[in-house]
Structure 1
Amino acid sequence: MSEKRVVMVVDMQQGVFETPRHQREICVSRINQLTQASDTVIFIQHAGDGGLEEGSEGFALLPELNQPAGAFYVTKTACDAFYNTALETLLREQGIREFVICGCATDYCVDATIKNGVSRGYHITVAEDAHTTANRPAADAQILINHYNDVWRDFIAPANPLSVKRTETILESWKAN
């Protein structure tokens, strides 16, 4: 195996899920499949006012989420997990140049982190069926999820295209290597 199997899980926190999210159980199940098959897991957690204060119940990860021993945790205060965080340092120290991303919210933190990561040269695979969001005034969650998967598939980044794959496909590829 040439590269570590790395999964970055964004904002799967109790306070975030106080707003109902599309297919929560299915999303968590797929994320757990990825984290159980990976070599390295990085949990990104959003900290902020209104129930997401560090150390609060709302800041905690969902109880049904698999948290493997040795997982890394990065706290952020903006949608983009790279913005004023230790994420880039952690990735560099661990020799990570590529990772699978999943989590919440598709149209905010997942999207912002993907785009900034690609711009920084990271090779990112989006687990297309392991990210979720809430219904928004302009569009239902499933429409947003489908829309962003299409945007990421067509995202123009010469020499560093995004990959968008089903969880099952990612796991099969990992087993083959």
Structure 2
Amino acid sequence: MKKALLIIDMQTMPFVWKDYGGKALYHEERLLVNTRLLIDRARQAQSPIFYVLHTETTGPRSVDQPLWEIVDPVAPAPEDFFIIKYHADSFHETDLHMLLCNNGVKGLVICGIQTDYCVDTTVKRAYSYGYEVELASDCTSTFDSDELTAEQIIRHHHHLLQQFASLLPSDQVVFKA
């Protein structure tokens, strides 16, 4: 079964928000290291890699603006795919499903930001399309809310997402060549 790596919203904004009065992204270094591991494994197996970019119509997170760019440690290669999305669901009003089908992809390994929004929604939508979904359990992140810590939010969403995806640590994810 052909698998693709789907990297959601690993853009500059979530990583610098803390520098502008926002909250810190939970375990951001671990997230970057584990995402890099997944990228390297996918490339070794020649599996397609899809970068999903949260995009706004205007402002600092619009196309080609600095906060919109993918962070350097997980930078894309020229052969990678880019999906511009305007909603939490990476499939909604994008060509993601069509591109996956055209590339013979039946399985998805999903990682990225934010566990409780775009990752959660995309995992469920991928499942509803019939993809075999694996969620890299140590490769999603979010921010503390006013009520819960990021760790609590992630643990809760991962518990719920077990109905829609296999949860595996990044070092156990396998892409076949």
- Percent identity, aligned pairs only? 25
- Where does 1:62-77 land on structure 2 (aligned, <5 Å)? 62-77=71-86
- Where does 1:7-86 land on structure 2 (aligned, <5 Å)? 7-19=5-17, 20-38=24-42, 39-48=47-56, 49-86=58-95
- Per-residue Cα deviation, 1:109-147 (whole angstroms, up to 9, x for no partner): 000101111111111000000000011112111111111
Measure, in 2, the Cα distance between the counterparts of 1:126 and 1:30.
12
Shift in Å at residue 66 of structure 1? 3.8
Partner of 1:158: none
Alignment partner for residue 169 of structure 2, among 136, 157, 166?
166
Q: Residue 121 of structure 1 aligns to a residue in which SS?
A: coil
Measure, in 2, the Cα distance between the counterparts of 1:72 and 1:125.
19
User: What code does the residue aligned with 1:21 have?
Assistant: L
8 Å contact kept, 2:8–2:51: yes
Normalising by structure 1, report the TM-score: 0.88
What are structure 1's unaligned runs of at least 5 residues?
156-160
User: What code does the residue aligned with 1:165 have?
Assistant: L
Partner of 1:92: 101
What is the number of residues matched between the two proteins? 166
Alignment partner for residue 146 of structure 1, among 155, 163, 174?
155
Alignment partner for residue 130 of structure 1, among 135, 139, 161?
139
Shift in Å at residue 70 of structure 1? 1.1
8 Å contact kept, 1:35–1:68: no
Shift in Å at residue 50 of structure 1? 4.2
Normalising by structure 2, report the TM-score: 0.88
Q: Residue 15 of structure 2 aligns to a residue in which SS?
A: helix
Partner of 2:20: none
CA RMSD in angstroms, aligned pairs only:
1.5
Q: Residue 134 of structure 2 aligns to a residue in which SS?
A: strand
8 Å contact kept, 1:36–1:66: no
Structure with larger RCO (C-alpha < 8 A, sep 6+): 2
